[in-house]
Structure 1
Amino acid sequence: MDVTIFAFAVPAVLFAGVSKSGFGSGAAFASSAILALVLEPGMALALMLPLLMLIDLVSLKPYWGRWNLRASLLLIAGGLPGVALGAWLYSAVDADVMRVLIGAVSVGFVLWQLRAKLGWPVVAARPLGRAAGALAGLIVGFTSFVSHAGGPPAAVYLLSLGLRKTEFQASTVLIFWAINLAKAVPYAGLGLFTRETLLLDLMLVPFALGGAALGVWLHHRIPDRWFFGLTYVLLTITGIKLIWDGLV
């Protein structure tokens, strides 16, 4: 709990708030990747989870009832076994493996967001079925547990349904409110929450709430490409650095 940690934590938490409340949650995990540069991966994940849960909670009200409930419940149901799988993996590997995994997910997210320019399909040609939704949910739960990065697989399924921007955003708020709530139990069981992380969480609450309010405001005022342009740069740099640190 020194100046360096605060210098990384404050912008990371603000960024998470803006992303989760305004831009579909997909880039919020950048906050964990940033913090993993100065903290052990487990501590970075544990520090962010209560703040992400708080952002989820305050983001529910402005989007209440505007989600696609059927699709959201399908992803949540599929996500619960994914959370269990993530908890098993975390207990079986060391910190360097987690650094590589978080870094790989970060770089993979950038490639996924650039998929149109790379010639990859942007969304499915037709709506994905229930089986594909359940599989997407499993991946959502797993990637969310190990790096708070469940946004991309959720987006693949939700975007295939042709949801409008606000319906998509509201659905992601509901999905990750439930998934993050489920993650808190194994996080506590693995001993990831400590007195120090919870105390720092209390200090960062104003920045989480400020970021959430700013995200809702920006959702209706700026194009997604501006926000994600900054995200690509942050994730590319932090992802490569984490992979390097984990391997070396």
Structure 2
Amino acid sequence: MDSIMAGLPALAFWGAVAVTFFSGFVKGTVGFAMPLIMISAFSAFLPPEIALAGLILPTLVTNISQAFRQGVAAALESARKYWRMITATVVFIIISAQFVRAIPQDLFLLLLGVPVTAYALLQLSGRSLALPLRNRRLAEWGLGIIGGLYGGISGVWGPPVLVYLLSVGAEKVESIRVSGVIFLIGAVVLFLAHLQTGVMNAQTVPFSAALILPGMAGLMLGYRVQDRMDQARFRWWTQVLLVLTGLNLMRRALGF
């Protein structure tokens, strides 16, 4: 047991298990927010590098399930359709991960949280912020770069992806599958990048692996809710969670 607890007190370890289960449930329901919930909650009671390491393997494994839930062919088609965003996200995760110990996370989190919150609030107010189709390629590259920059530093790159999918009106199943594909590829890259930086090591890998089971249990429960949710409610809940995501990013940045 000691080998999977990363030197943590029992209360902290079981707290991490509970957070992972809940974040898996949210991910199963709406397709995102797992790493954000984990890193936000973990940061309250875990050392920063253990918090980041802890989310990597459960995020990776749950994204495998999400990406391939409709089969390999559907996942490959999503990868082909959104290859620009995937490429930009992957490249900039690799780049930004090298600076995880040097770049102040507070500034990054604030710069992400403010626009994400503003965007989602405007969506909830009924205003259309759909990106013109002529700008779709540029938007994929730009939001992929933004997601990758934040992803390598904080382990969170979902909000820019979700903003893009909401803007182009992707339907529920496609939105969740595309998110899973992009999140999966990013999670693999994040894992490999932090093997190189040393965040993933002999102490943190067993801890992260121990969180896979509660993450998957929460995910499976969340799938049952997702399958009963219609498109309009899915978009509403996605927007609400983006608002909460953005507010939480700003809270973390400002130290509240």
Same-fold call, TM > 0.5?
A: yes
C-alpha deviations, 1:57-80, integer Å up to 9, x for none? Answer: 222332334453433322111112
**Other-structure match for 1:153:** 160
Instruction: Find the aligned partners of 1:238 and 1:2 in 2 and give their Cα distance.
Output: 27
Residue 82 (structure 1) aligns with? 92
Instruction: Give a deviation string over 1:155-183, Cα, whole Å, max 9, x none.
Output: 23333333211011111111111111111
1:205 aligns with 2:173: no
CA contact (8 A) 1:17 1:28 kept: no
Return closer, same or farther for 1:221/1:69 CA change in 2, 3 Å cut-off. same
Quote the Cα distance in structure 2 between the aligned partners of 1:27 and 1:111.
21
Looking at structure 1, the residues matched to 123 and 195 of structure 2 have their Cα atoms a distance apart, in angstroms, of 39
- Give 1:9's aligned residue: 16
Match for 2:254 among 240, 243, 246? 243
Measure how far apart 1:25 and its partner are.
1.6
Report the Cα distance in structure 2 between the residues aligned to 1:194 and 1:239, rounded to whole angstroms: 30
C-alpha distance in 1 between matches for 2:9 and 2:242: 26
Q: In the alignment, what sits opposite 1:142?
A: 149
- Pick closer, same or farther for the CA change 1:102–1:5 going to 2, 3 Å: farther
Compute the RMSD of aligned alpha carbons.
3.0
List runs of 5+ in structure 2 lacking aligned partners. 1-7
Alignment match of 1:191 (pick from 169, 180, 198): 198
- Runs of 5+ unmatched residues, structure 1: none
1:127, distance to aligned residue in structure 2 (A): 6.1
How much does 1:204 deviate? 2.1
For the 8 Å contact 2:113–2:247, the answer to whether it is kept is yes
Letter in 2 for 1:73: W
Change (3 A) 1:85 1:126: same
Alpha-carbon shift at residue 219 of structure 1 (Å): 1.0
Q: CA deviation at 1:106?
A: 5.2
Task: Check the 8 A contact 2:79/2:86 in 1, yes or no.
Answer: no
Query: For each residue in 1:25-51, what CA deviation from the matched residue of structure 2 results, as whole angstroms up to 9, or x when unmatched?
Result: 246412111111112322211110111
The count of corresponding residues between Structure 1 and Structure 2 is 242
